[in-house]
Amino acid sequence: MLPVNYYLILSAVVFAIGVIGVLIRRNLIVVLMSIELMLNAVNLTFIAFSRYLGSMVGQVAVFFVMAVAAAEAVIGLAIIISVYRQRRSLDPQDMQLLKW
């Protein structure tokens, strides 16, 4: 079997790419998708460790992460919809009302 490091490094790379997406993109939906990417990278880590330690806890964790990610995506999208109705835009730079 492959050493676990390979999976960890892979998930670190995917995680970093997700972070880039959150910080750079100017479309809220893509930002949300990048967040999902980050969550999945973490899931990969969990499963890798679950395999290498022989414990089901990792998989249970992934189960819950998925449930929560689903809930979070739902709410996030609902928020995006209502914000779009107000501001007619999906650009985070157009939503700076809470500035100093």
Partner 1 sequence: MVTNQLVLADYNLLRWIPLIPLLAVVFNLFWGRALGKKFAGALACAAVGASFALALYVFWQLPSNGIFRDSIYTWIDSGSFRVNLSFQVDALTAVMLLIVTGIGFLIHIYSLGYMEHDEGMVRFFIYLNLFIFFMLTLVTGDNLLILFVGWEGVGLCSYLLIGFWYHDSNNAIAGNKAFIVNRIGDFGFILGIFLLVTELGRQGIWTLDFLELQKHASMLSPASIGVITLLLFVGATGKSAQLPLFVWLPDAMAGPTPVSALIHAATMVTAGVYMTARLHFLFVLAPSTLSLIAWIGAATAFFAATIALTQNDIKKVLAYSTVSQLGYMFIAVGVGAFSAAIFHLFTHAFFKACLFLGSGSVIHALDGEQDMRKMGGLKAHMPQTYWTYVVATLAIAGAPLTAGFFSKDLILWQAFNHGATALWGIGLITAGMTAFYMFRQLFMVFHGECRADDHAKAHLHESPAVMTLPLMILAFGSIFTGWLGAPEYLWGNRWDLWLQPVFGAAEAHEGSVGTEVIVTLLTLAVVAVGIYFAYAKYGRDGTEVEQRAGAGGLLYRLSLNKYYVDEIYDHVFVRPFTAISDFFARFIDPWVIDGTVNGVAAVTRGSSQVWRGLQTGNVQHYAAGLLVGTLALLAYYFGQS
Partner 2 sequence: MDASTFVFFLLAGLLVISSLLVVFLRNVVHCAMALVAALLIIAIFFITLHAPMVGILQVMVYAGAIMVLFLFVIMFLNPSVLERPRAAWWSFASLLAVLLGAMLVSLFFNNEPAADPVASTELFGSPEMLAKSLFNDFVLPFEIASVLLLVAIVGAVVLAKRERSV
| CB-based contact 79:71 (threshold 8 Å) | no
Task: Choose among partner 1, partner 2, none what residue 100 binds, the Cβ cut-off being 5 to 8 Å by kind.
Answer: partner 1
Interface residues for partner 1 in 5-34 (CB under 8 A)? 19, 22-24, 31
| Residues at the contact surface with partner 2, assessed by CB under 8 A | 1-10, 12-21, 23-27, 29-30, 32-34, 36-37, 40, 43-44, 47-48, 50-54, 56-57, 59-60, 62-64, 66-75, 77-82, 84-85, 90-91, 93
| Residues at the contact surface with partner 1, assessed by CB under 8 A | 19, 22-24, 31, 92-93, 95-100
